[in-house]
Amino acid sequence: MNSLVLAIIGIAMMLAGYFVYSKYLARRVYRLNAEFRTPSHELTDGVDYVPTNKFVLWGHHFTSVAGAAPIVGPAVAVIWGWLPAFLWVTLGTVFFAGMHDMGALWASVRNKGQSMGMLSGRYIGARGRNLFLVVIFLLLLMVVAAFATVITNLLISTPTSVIPVWGAIAVAAVIGQMIYRWKMNLLLTTVIGVVALYSLILVGDRFPVVLPETVLGMTPATFWIVALFVYAGVASLLPVWVLLQPRDYINGVQLFIGLGILYLSVLFASPTIVAPAVNHAVPEGTPSIVPLLFVTIACGAISGFHGMVSSGTSAKQLDKETDGRFVGYFGAVGEGLLALGAIIAATAGYQTLADWEAVYSAFNEGGVAAFVEGGGAIVNAGLGIPVSLSATILATMAVLFAATTMDTAVRLQRFVVQEAAEIMGFRVRNVVATLIVLVVGVGLTFSAGADGSGGLLIWPLFGTTNQLLASLTLAIIAVVLLRKKRNPVLVLIPLVFVLVMSVYALVVQIGTFYADGNWLLLGLDLVILVASLWVALEAAIAMQAARKGAFDPETDDPVLAGSGRGGTVGSD
């Protein structure tokens, strides 16, 4: 199979999804209204609620949702063959992820930018909300701790990425000033930022940074992890326009250019996919493709974390409600294109099937390393860029994706802490909430040693937890649609599929953890399973009530009997 054919089919499917299906969703299902006053205007505070140009916001949203997962998941899942991974990524992006992300963004915008956790309180009840927040907190904890470890490993294994990764922070700070303080032309600002970032990549490739055995009394791994948490904490407290938003925007543009380089290399090199379409000779110990494929590839097909970003930060910055189609749906398309690129790099970046099988000798042996190695070979063959520089470009892409996701996750987890405190009747300031997040995250990351391996302790639960969260987010969107007297079938089909596969995978994992005697993961697995099923049940009851009850289609508040459209009870 020629990888160029696969790339053309995949790109065409995703673009058709954006130009055709997303328009239908925007007009007929979500009915986006350009005149609706969004939370960024209604609640402007200059910190979290900031009206934002849709291209800048897309950059933030895209890079926040597209962490290391859309690279790791597909690059691991191709062990079952490239065809199942390709179908799940393309169909999942078009019919699941784009609809989910745009829907979560729309539902939050219609509710003053509240997170999905808080929306669950309004639409499925207090019990559901409390359990939902538990699942969200655990998911964000997994992301923060694991990504700190993943980024650290990449900085150590690819020292040429150190300068561009940390230099991107300084570039972003200047970009923020250029956009908001100096009011410079966005195109000119973008060109300057991209040139600066790629200049840093050239410098980094020329001057790799390898830390000594001890830095301030810490090992290199410990130092990088501490530095990452300090940065993420500071970034989460600053106004979004100062660092988070411009960093994500300029990274998004640069990373899209990186994807362009990869796909252009595929065009010129047209490498053959050496991996089988369906692998009937998987290594011993590889789990069954069903249901594991659908949780191994989460980001890149559909991801609950996207709903957290949509409702946690993006909804607070959306300038016009109609921008939600570009930010939400096209943001999912961008991640789908990254996942497709990861599939091609991990299956066509090797000379022979034997070379590929040597890398995929066991489950979880692919991942970022396969993406960087295979992608680097393709870029070298297609554009003649030296292998070292190609690897630096792709490794920097992977680290920047992971880093932007990590700092957004810290901010989102801060929101969760504050929302939980609000439910309990008291207020937690931003700094205190951030410190709580950092203490818990650092504690987990170093729980297994100074190398940060503890950050990956509960990562095996990420895929299932993430997909369960996606199904629960879809459930809330379905309740909102039913209250507004709209047909939720396009939401319910993905909801049922993802929920069944996620619960199935959780049950399979319970057996695995029990057999291995891994009581920590077994206990957490059971907590997540019970909480998620409980929330799903509450959501089903809420859907039935919304279908039968009287609700104002504009405010989706319950209507008092005999009061007509004007009389509603409180939204709680």
- Whole-Å CA distances, 324 to 10, 32, 44, 101, 147: 23, 8, 18, 9, 27
**pLDDT over 60 at 10, yes or no:** yes
The more confident residue out of 145 and 69 is 145
Residue 510 confidence (pLDDT): 92
Integer Cα distance of 437 and 444 in angstroms: 11
Q: Render pLDDT for 452-504 as a digit per residue (tens, 0 to 9).
A: 888 888 888 888 888 988 998 999 999 999 999 999 999 999 999 999 999 99
> For position 572, what pLDDT does the model report?
33
Kindly give the residue spans of alpha helices, DSSP state H, lying in 177-243: 186-206, 220-237
Distance CA 176, CA 164 (A): 18
Q: How much is the average pLDDT of 81-108? A: 96
What span, in angstroms and rounded, lies between the C-alpha atoms of 112 and 127? 22
Distance from C-alpha of 18 to C-alpha of 331, rounded to nearest angstrom: 10
In this structure, what DSSP letter does residue 1 have?
-
- At residue 64, the pLDDT reads 82
Please say if the pLDDT value at position 401 is more than 60.
yes
| CB-CB neighbours of 557 under 10 Å | 16
Per the structure block, which two tokens stand in for 407? 């700092």
For 440-477, give one letter per residue: b (16+ CB within 10 A) or e: bbbebbbeeeebbebbbbbbbbbbbbbbbbbbbbbbbb
Counting residues of the chain whose pLDDT is more than 70, the rounded percentage is 98
Q: What is the mean pLDDT of residues 209-222?
A: 91
Q: How far apart (Å, rounded) are the C-alpha atoms in residues 204 and 392?
A: 8
What's the pLDDT at 55? 92
CA nearest 446: which of 457, 435, 437?
457
Report, as an integer, the average pLDDT of 56-60.
Answer: 89
pLDDT tens column, 536-547 = 898 899 999 988
Give residue 476's pLDDT. Answer: 93
- pLDDT reported for residue 5: 95
Packing angle between helix 387-423 and helix 304-312, nearest 10 degrees?
70
> What pLDDT does 560 receive?
60
Q: Which residues contact 247 (CB under 8 A, 6 or more apart)?
A: 168, 169, 172, 175, 176, 235, 404, 407
φ, ψ (nearest 5 deg) of residue 125: 110, 165
What is the average pLDDT across 20-29? Answer: 96
Quick one: pLDDT band at residue 561, thresholds 50, 70, 90?
low
pLDDT at position 404 is 81
Given a contact cutoff of 8 angstroms between Cβ atoms, the answer to whether 401 and 68 are in contact is yes
pLDDT per residue over 421-464, tens digit each? 988 888 999 999 999 999 999 999 999 888 888 888 888 888 88
Residue 362: predicted pLDDT: 85
pLDDT of res. 439 = 95
User: Is a pLDDT exceeding 90 seen at residue 373?
Assistant: no
Question: What does the mean pLDDT of the chain come to?
Answer: 89
pLDDT score of 396 = 80
Question: CB under 8 Å to 332, separation ≥6 — which residues?
Answer: 65, 93, 97, 98, 100, 101, 102, 306
Domains of the chain: 3-468+491-534 (1.20.1740.10)
For residue 233, give the nearest of 23, 441, 489 by alpha carbon: 441
DSSP label at residue 484: T
- What average pLDDT does the segment 312-320 reach? 93
Q: Are 344 and 222 in contact (CB under 8 A)?
A: no
Continuous H helices in 328-386: 330-348, 353-359, 368-383
Q: How far is residue 408's CA from residue 467's CA, in Å, rounded to a whole number?
A: 19
For residue 555, give the DSSP letter.
T
Average pLDDT, integer, range 338-345: 93
pLDDT score of 456: 82
pLDDT reported for residue 565: 46
Average pLDDT over residues 387-413: 82
- What global pTM score does this model have? 0.87
For residue 380, give both structure tokens.
């070298």
Q: 555 burial class (0-12, 13-18, 19+ CB within 10 angstroms)?
A: middle
pLDDT at 571 over 80: no
Q: Stretch 150-173: mean pLDDT, rounded?
A: 89
Q: With b meaning 16 or more CB within 10 Å and e meaning fewer, what string describes 218-248? A: ebbbbbbbbbbbebbbebbbbebbbbbbbbb
Q: Rounded distance, CA 261 to CA 383, Å?
A: 8
pLDDT of residue 370: 85
Tell me what percent of the residues of the chain surpass a pLDDT of 90.
Answer: 51
What is the 3 state secondary structure string of 384-429? CCCHHHHHHHHHHHHHHHHHHHHHHHHHHHHHHHHHHHHHCCCCCC
Gap between the Cα atoms of 395 and 264, Å rounded:
18
List the structure tokens of 337: 């294109």
pLDDT bucket at 319, cuts 50 / 70 / 90: very high
- Asked if residue 569 has pLDDT above 60, the reply is no
Considering only residues 72 and 85, tell me which one the structure prediction assigns the higher pLDDT. 85
Torsion (CA) 306, 311, 316, 319 in degrees, nearest 10: 70
